[in-house]
Chain A
Amino acid sequence: DSGVTQTPKHLITATGQRVTLRCSPRSGDLSVYWYQQSLDQGLQFLIQYYNGEERAKGNILERFSAQQFPDLHSELNLSSLELGDSALYFCASSPSGGQVHEQYFGPGTRLTVT
């Protein structure tokens, strides 16, 4: 158990809908990362937050947005869903500080768009 929690575990929704994925980082970790894993695209970095502020942006679509709250949990919002958005969405967290830290991944949310 990495200490990173994600809810829900599974989500089935229809095209055009909007969903929110939630992530709670490990205790004390200030950085949160979101990734999308699909069979054809591999593991794609979406966005990073550090202590409430956006720090890095990857291949995140304009239909997707995220935020990190004062209690450090993060939410990834996916709107106007398309069939191609079906994927595993992972959250990861890492500590702050001067060292180079690895990331700790949550169990993921499997999104199915029908």
Chain B
Amino acid sequence: AQSVAQPEDQVNVAEGNPLTVKCTYSVSGNPYLFWYVQYPNRGLQFLLKYITGDNLVKGSYGFEAEFNKSQTSFHLKKPSALVSDSALYFCAVRDKVATAGNQFYFGTGTSLTVIP
């Protein structure tokens, strides 16, 4: 069965420091991977996706993510955190064998707090 795990419910980082939000996945075959961000009382916003090719994917707001097939991971990173990055982050996966539509599987979310 397809699944996504975000092992940390909460991540705290000081402003200006690098941040990492972790995600591991389990799918049959190669995955399509996504990161979304959710600000309070808002819908999810797309940050970036990995489909194929370069393992390092760059996205919106200076975020990037590294696909690691051997570790089945897709960690979200940013070199220098901003207070405005404080939000809830979701990792999602969709497998390539979309025989039953395009079902996405979301992680449970990681709450990121950037401390001034």
Residues of A within 8 A of B (CB): 2, 4, 31, 33, 35, 42-43, 45, 48, 50, 55-56, 58, 90, 92, 94, 100, 102-108
Contact = CB atoms under 8 A, between A and B. Distances in A.
Most chain B beta-carbon contacts within 10 A, residue among A94, A102, A108: A102
B103 A107 contact: no
B43 A48 contact: no
Interface stretch (B14-22, B44-52, B61-69, B76-84): B44-52
Given A45-B104, A92-B43, 20 more contacts: A2-B43, A2-B45, A42-B106, A43-B90, A45-B103, A45-B105, A50-B101, A55-B102, A56-B102, A90-B44, A100-B32, A100-B51, A102-B34, A102-B46, A103-B104, A105-B45, A106-B43, A107-B42, A108-B42, A108-B43
B102 A43 contact: no
- Chain A to chain B: the 9 pairs with minimum beta-carbon distance, closest first: A56-B101, A55-B101, A105-B43, A102-B46, A43-B106, A42-B108, A105-B44, A56-B103, A48-B101
Contacts, number: 57
